[in-house]
Chains A and B, each alone.
Chain A
Amino acid sequence: MIKKILCFCGSGLGTSFVMEMNVKKALKNLGIEGVTVDHSTIDDVLPGAADLFVCSADLLPNAQKAGKAIGLNNMVAVKEIQEKLKAVFEEE
């Protein structure tokens, strides 16, 4: 079960926050509730830190070492995030 999503980028205050906002929007659109979403730096990406990590496509290999992860090319549009989240939640 995915209960905690952690969005991260290199600095933990720009890109990761934009992703957090849009992950929240996407979850709402998908009607998924009871998931906490947070943003942080790559230093906090450790196994067990979250059930799902979300990052830019470049950082995906780093995230996959820590667990299940989604890499994004477009972080400002909800569309890509929503499609990728839907696929992950359907797998569950």
Chain B
Amino acid sequence: MQRLCVEIRIRNRNGPVAGTVSLEEQSEWTESGFMNALGRRNFGMSLLKKENVQICDTADNWRDAIRISVQPLEQGGYVESCYKDGIIENIEKLGPYIIIADHIALPHARPEQGAVKTQIGITLFRQDIKFDGKEATARLFVTLAAKDNDSHLDALVQISELLSDEERVEKILESPDVQTLYHYFERI
């Protein structure tokens, strides 16, 4: 059987070639396989899906906020229903280490606690969510599902870069709608 070898070049908008992916590398050409190959190489293709971005007014408490922030990932089949409980248990045991900066939480648990596919979800609360025993509160929840120890690292590098600028974080927190919020993260 003759093998077809095609190289696809991915260009940034009006920019130079951002990278290439060879079709030969993928044994099975499903859409998800292709997107994974692209995503892995960090070609600026989005891991984040718009349906996993949401804006909510508030939550009853931090546990409720975690459940809300995991909901889109659960609905999409990226995590099992036990995943949110895993995150809550980790926090109950160790404290809110998921607050990575003032206003920003990164809820996540171990792959074996119910992550099925690597994906992120963004939830912006209009009101501050308070965690037990911590002064800092969170409004922006970047919920992470990682199916293994490394498939999510490219995305985390970009998230960290994006959120390292405090002025930008202020703007993100004031996003008037989901489209605007998604726009900040769409390259992740």
Judge whether A10 is part of the interface by a CB distance below 8 angstroms: yes
- Does A14 lie within 8 Å of B133, measured CB to CB? no
Chain B, 132-148, contact with A by CB distance < 8 Å: what is the 0/1 string? Answer: 01101000000010100
Judge whether A18 is part of the interface by a CB distance below 8 angstroms: yes
Interface size class of B (residues with CB under 8 A): 20 to 34
Chain B, 145-188, contact with A by CB distance < 8 Å: what is the 0/1 string? Answer: 01001001100110110011010000000000000000000000
Judge whether B3 is part of the interface by a CB distance below 8 angstroms: no
Of chain B, the residue at the smallest CB distance from A19 is: B100
Point out the residue from A9, A12, A18, A59 that lies within 8 Å of B156, measured CB to CB: A18
Distance, CA A18 to CA B159, complexed state (A): 9
Interface hit among B5-13, B28-36, B51-59, B104-112: B104-112
- Does A13 lie within 8 Å of B108, measured CB to CB? yes
Select the residue from B93, B133, B156, B164 with max chain A CB neighbours within 10 A. Answer: B164
- Does B106 lie within 8 Å of A14, measured CB to CB? yes
Of chain A, the residue at the smallest CB distance from B166 is: A77
- Does B108 lie within 8 Å of A76, measured CB to CB? no
Interface size class of A (residues with CB under 8 A): 20 to 34
Of chain B, the residue at the smallest CB distance from A11 is: B110
- Given contacts A11-B90, A11-B110, A15-B106, is CB(A58)–CB(B96) below 8 Å? yes
Distance, CA A25 to CA B52, complexed state (A): 31
Judge whether A66 is part of the interface by a CB distance below 8 angstroms: no
Residues of B within 8 A of A15 (CB): 97-98, 100, 106, 108
Q: Which A residues are closer than 8 A to B by beta carbons?
A: 9-15, 17-18, 21-22, 42, 55-56, 58-59, 62, 73-78
Q: Which B residues are closer than 8 A to A by beta carbons?
A: 90-91, 93-102, 104, 106, 108-111, 133-134, 136, 144, 146, 149, 152-153, 156-157, 159-160, 163-164, 166
Seed contacts A17-B153, A58-B96; 13 additional CB < 8 Å A-B pairs: A11-B90, A11-B110, A13-B108, A13-B111, A14-B98, A42-B94, A56-B95, A56-B100, A59-B94, A59-B97, A74-B100, A75-B100, A77-B164
Q: What are 10 contact pairs spanning A and B, CB under 8 A? A: A18-B160, A22-B164, A56-B99, A56-B100, A58-B134, A59-B97, A62-B94, A76-B160, A77-B164, A78-B164
